[in-house]
């Protein structure tokens, strides 16, 4: 019997397998090395109270992130920080520091934060080469689901997904699909390969129940690097939706489509420009909207179109501007078309996330 077990063990090794205990030991050691780089993102955001309540509520938010540099750069999910008023980053040892949003790419759901101060003794994670990851590779996710940090879940890369997005700047967009468990609070957390390198940033799940059902997505590290680290940063601090067809008619747009502003973060470029957010919560065609905010009609003379192709042109137009040149944004406000003029400064970056074509307000 003993000889049979030995032969089976040798057969597994010859096939390239290894005992489960060795895999567990490798994962345990790798987790110990990377867990100090994983952070909890705590945010505060003002929003319109849901019916039947009235007024503005200040809501706390929870997400995850990963420290990627010794000078305090943190990657997280764009949807977690795009329109927040305040951000704090909490480390595994309990230290908490404030941070600011530097750049977001809404269509890719990735964002870059900068710590206001960098605590001593931090360990930054290393960005890996996500191009080398194949379907079937084992990965693990570390984050703070429901505030439980640090939590590890293990799974595999189930697929690679390239969404159909018209923006030229998003042509390289790619996401990993994974069966590693992802729940509320995991958004923005790192997906690691088994060597402890960050190869993805957790974004969203597909679910009918609202909980994890085995299909989660993470933006690839390559995409995060290209959009946030290798181009000039940009954050509008604004969130909204494209309105067209019947809804555009109901809102009395003077053109077929526009960008209806929903929320604006305090102190953001959009806020300093004077962009107004929605203030009245309504339901139109089964979709909940905030009305009363500005509707962006054009940027630099390029009108918002129904098929999103204008966003490519807006992006290209702004990317060619130099410090001292201006951006002119037309908005529909309270039934009147007005212009908001913006000057490019050396600190403002000439990249435009999806449907967020607002930069910085002129000094008064």
**Tens digits of per-residue pLDDT, 274-332?**
899 999 988 877 778 899 999 999 988 889 987 766 766 776 676 677 778 877 889 99
CATH assignment of 126-229, among 2.40.10.10, 3.40.50.2020, 3.20.20.70, 3.30.230.80: 2.40.10.10
Mean pLDDT of 61-76: 97
Q: Tell me the CB-side half-sphere exposure of residue 193, using CA atoms within 13 A.
A: 18
Spatial distance between the Cα atoms of 78 and 236, rounded to a whole number of angstroms: 11
| pLDDT of 334 strictly over 50 | yes
Mean pLDDT of 86-112: 93
- Is 58 among the residues known to form the active site? no
Predicted confidence (pLDDT) per residue in 220-245, tens digit = 999 999 989 988 787 889 999 889 88
Mean pLDDT of 53-64: 88
The burial class, CB within 10 Å (0-12 / 13-18 / 19+), for 117 is: exposed
- Is 156 among the residues known to form the active site? no
* CATH 2.40.10.10 intervals, the chain: 126-229
* Catalytic hit among 149, 158, 187, 271: 187
* Catalytic hit among 109, 158, 173, 294: 109
Cα–chain-centroid distance for residue 47? 19
- Is 79 among the residues known to form the active site? yes
Q: Helix (H, G, I), strand (E, B), or coil: what is residue 343?
A: strand
Class of domain 238-343: mainly beta
């Amino acid at each position: 019997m003993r000889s049979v077990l030995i032969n089976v063990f040798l057969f597994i090794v010859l096939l390239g397998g290894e005992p489960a205990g060795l895999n567990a030991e490798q994962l345990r050691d790798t987790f110990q090395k990377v867990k100090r780089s994983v952070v909890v993102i705590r945010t505060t955001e003002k929003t319109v109270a849901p019916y039947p309540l009235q007024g503005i509520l200040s809501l706390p938010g929870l997400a995850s992130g990963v420290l990627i540099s010794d000078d305090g750069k943190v990657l997280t999910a764009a949807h977690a920080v795009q329109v927040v008023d305040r951000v704090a980053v909490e480390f595994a040892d309990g230290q908490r520091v404030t941070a600011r949003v530097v750049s977001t790419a809404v269509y890719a759901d990735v964002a870059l934060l900068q710590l206001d101060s960098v605590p001593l003794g931090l360990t930054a994670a290393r960005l890996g080469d996500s191009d080398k990851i194949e379907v079937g590779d084992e990965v693990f996710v570390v984050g703070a689901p429901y505030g439980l940090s640090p939590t590890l879940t293990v799974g595999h890369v189930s697929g690679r997904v390239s969404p159909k997005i018209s923006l030229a700047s998003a042509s390289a967009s790619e996401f990993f699909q994974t069966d590693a468990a992802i729940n509320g609070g995991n958004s923005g957390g790192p997906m690691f390969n088994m060597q402890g390198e960050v190869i993805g940033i957790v974004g969203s799940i597909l679910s009918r129940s609202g909980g994890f059902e085995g299909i989660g997505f993470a933006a690839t590290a390559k995409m995060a690097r290209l959009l946030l680290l290798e181009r000039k940063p940009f954050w509008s601090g604004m969130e909204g939706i494209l309105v067209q067809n019947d809804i555009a008619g109901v809102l009395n747009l003077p053109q077929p489509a526009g960008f209806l502003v929903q929320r604006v973060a305090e102190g953001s470029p959009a806020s300093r420009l004077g962009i107004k957010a929605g203030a009245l919560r309504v339901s139109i065609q089964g979709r909940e909207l905030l009305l009363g905010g500005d509707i962006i009609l054009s940027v630099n003379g390029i009108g918002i179109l129904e098929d999103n192709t204008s966003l490519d042109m807006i992006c290209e137009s702004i990317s060619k501007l130099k410090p001292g040149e201006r951006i002119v944004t037309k908005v529909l406000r309270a039934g009147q078309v007005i212009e908001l003029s913006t000057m490019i400064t050396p600190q403002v970056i000439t990249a435009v996330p999806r449907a967020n074509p607002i930069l910085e307000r002129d000094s008064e």
